[in-house]
Amino acid sequence: MPEAPGAMPSGAARRPEPLTLRAAARVQRQVIGALLLRELSTRFGRENLGFLWLFLEPALLGGTIGLVHHLSGRGLPGGVDVLSFWVLGYIPFFLFRSVVNRAPVAIVSNQSLLYHRRITILDIMLARDLLEGAAVLGAMAVFVLAIGLATGTWPEQPAKLVLGMALMLVLAHGIGLLISAGSVYTEMFERITHMVTYLSLPILGSFFMVFWLPTEVQKMVLWMPTVHCFEIVRDGQFGSAVPTSYDVSYVLTCAALLNLFGLAALRKARRDMVV
Amino acid sequence: MIRLHALGKAYRVHGRMRAVLSGIEATFRPGEAVGILGRNGAGKTTLLRLIAGVEHPTSGWVERGMTVSWPLGFAGAMHYSITGADNARFIARIYGKPVAETVEFVDAFAELGEYYRMPARTYSHGMLTRLGFALSMAVDFDCYLVDEAVAAGDSRFATRCRDALEERRGRSAILFVSHVPDLLRQFCTSGAVLQDGRLTRYDDLDQAIAAYQPA
């Protein structure tokens, strides 16, 4: 058969090795475990301020905005504590941004790992994002504790804080998969991702509550899956003190679709990439 | 055993697809030490990368009935920011090997001395090659993909590589690529020539060398 340059690999769907699901799961556990340990030491090692920044940024940004509002004497609708509102609004965004912003270089900066056939791009992304999620969740716990001690208000439903963050992580992970797959073909993502995440800050849902908005606008912003995540977190923290609107199944559907397309894109990109 | 089924690879060069390998059919069995000859640019490295699974073929597929090493002799498989010992720990975890034993084994095999506890980015090229080779020996693959760069340089280490590969000959297969026939005589029993994107096997290494015209 003459070669057909650029044609789809004829036998690519075939798995060359007889690998049971159980054995494959074991390998994946091993690999992700090893990647987690490596990531832990390179990102949060003694030599850099990774860990410190995790606390500093939400504290500085959320704290500053909260302080401005506090000094201006303007409270928030529903009588919610200003400082805890801004800090808790910033943390899920912080998670979203760090997962998405690191996606364009996720493959390039880990290219040497792909010499090991056992390590897939998905493993690399999973390890990074799981660690990021755990770290930011840890930071959130510290802030919630601090808020509780300072103001005496504790989360009404702590599980919803975790749920909101978990959904945000899965959404960001799916977007990250798509971006990292795209980065194999073009450098565009490396250039624009940071800008886009910053510019989208106002519409992601970090700094407004859905019930502040007119009904028409509410319907529009609820198309953004991230808006729901922030609302879930607020429901967990403030509970009945403020009305929140969200739909968990909508976020799950969005997250599932993003991840599905992300996996498909990554599969194609892996075949086309030059290591 | 390893089988290559109509294996082909094309790269995009200046917007056009250029075939490097096409329609390669070959079988490599345990215990074989095959020397693959090819000129610079013939696609030797590409072939090793496809067999290792570092890159994926454009057409055809690789059937792996045994565990296959990463391509040795390139610095690719290592982390430069961490120490040699940390690299050994990482590899041990990835491949499910006991960590302490692996660290010890690599220390003894690579003979890096104090450098073993220093970041790999401080290593010379020869030291990186030694670390990479030692790491792959620690994992204990069924098939080793070796680039001639392993044999180049420090001749004492080249001898040790040869001994280590020799010792595994019974159970492991070795694919060794080079553009220098003399190097293959030290390592291999049978041969193959890679030319114009196609691979021709010869049962006898000397036949392969005779068929190969280095440029």
**B8 touches B55 (CB < 8 A):** no
| pLDDT over 80 at B215, yes or no | no
What average pLDDT is seen over chain B? 88
Q: Which two tokens stand for residue A63?
A: 């704290």
Between A158-183 and A82-102, two packed helices, what is the crossing angle to 10 degrees?
Answer: 30
| pLDDT over 50 at A275, yes or no | yes
What is the complex's ipTM, to 2 decimals?
A: 0.89
pLDDT attached to residue B75: 67
pLDDT attached to residue A92: 93
pLDDT above 90 covers a percentage of chain A that reads 54
Nearest to B96 among A1, A17, A30 (CB): A30
pLDDT attached to residue A195: 92
State pLDDT tens for residues B16-38.
899 999 999 999 998 888 999 99
| pLDDT over 70 at A273, yes or no | yes
B63: closest CA of chain A, how far (Å): 5
A116 with B56: Cβ contact below 8 A: no
State pLDDT tens for residues B63-112.
999 999 999 876 678 888 889 999 999 999 999 999 999 999 999 998 89
The lowest-confidence range among A28-37, A147-156, A215-224 is A147-156
Q: Which of B89, B90, B86, B164 is nearest to B123 (CA)?
A: B86
User: What number is the average pLDDT over the span B170-190?
Assistant: 84
Nearest to B59 among A4, A33, A116 (CB): A4
Nearest to A34 among B17, B64, B93 (CB): B93
**What is the domain partition of chain A in residue ranges?**
27-272
- State the best of A39, A46, A116, A184 to mutate against chain B, taking most chain B CBs within 10 Å: A116
**B159 touches B177 (CB < 8 A):** no
- Between CA A210 and CA A222 the distance in angstroms is 8
CB-based contact, A13 to chain B, within 8 Å: no
Binned at pLDDT 50, 70 and 90, residue B214 comes out as low
Residues of chain B whose beta carbon is less than 8 angstroms from a beta carbon of chain A are 5-6, 8, 10-11, 17-19, 22-23, 49, 52-65, 68, 70-71, 74, 76-79, 81-82, 86, 90, 93-96
Which residue would you say has higher pLDDT here, A87 or A193?
A193
pLDDT attached to residue A73: 67
| pLDDT over 80 at A267, yes or no | yes
B contacts of A271 (beta carbons < 8 Å)? 56
A115 with B70: Cβ contact below 8 A: yes
- B139, closest residue in chain A (CA to CA): A116
A contacts of B22 (beta carbons < 8 Å)? 3
CB-based contact, A16 to chain B, within 8 Å: yes
| pLDDT over 80 at B124, yes or no | yes
pLDDT attached to residue B3: 94
B contacts of A27 (beta carbons < 8 Å)? 96
User: What number is the average pLDDT over the span A71-97?
Assistant: 81
Determine which helix (DSSP H) or strand (DSSP E) holds B60, and give its type and residue range. Answer: strand B59-64
| pLDDT over 90 at B57, yes or no | yes
- Between CA B207 and CA B37 the distance in angstroms is 12
| pLDDT over 80 at A6, yes or no | no
| pLDDT over 90 at B126, yes or no | no
pLDDT attached to residue A147: 87
Nearest to B77 among A3, A10, A115 (CB): A115
State pLDDT tens for residues B136-174.
999 989 999 988 777 665 677 777 877 887 788 778 899
Which residue would you say has higher pLDDT here, B198 or A56?
B198
3-state secondary structure of B72: strand
The lowest-confidence range among A57-61, A129-133, A184-188 is A57-61
Nearest to B59 among A9, A118, A274 (CB): A9
Which pTM does this prediction carry? 0.87
Query: Is the four-CA dihedral B118, B119, B124, B130 of positive or negative sign?
Result: positive
Which residue would you say has higher pLDDT here, A221 or A56?
A221
Q: How far from B194 is each of B6, B200, B210, CA to CA, in Å?
A: 14, 7, 13
| pLDDT over 60 at B177, yes or no | yes
B49 with A275: Cβ contact below 8 A: yes
Cβ pairs bridging A and B (under 8 Å): 96
| pLDDT over 60 at A102, yes or no | yes
State pLDDT tens for residues A215-253.
999 999 999 999 999 999 999 999 888 899 999 999 999
CB-based contact, A12 to chain B, within 8 Å: yes
A29: closest CA of chain B, how far (Å): 9
B206: closest CA of chain A, how far (Å): 31
| Count, residues in chain A | 275
Q: How far from A178 is each of A221, A228, A268, CA to CA, in Å?
A: 23, 21, 11
Antiparallel, parallel or unpaired: β B173-178 and B33-37: parallel
pLDDT attached to residue A5: 41
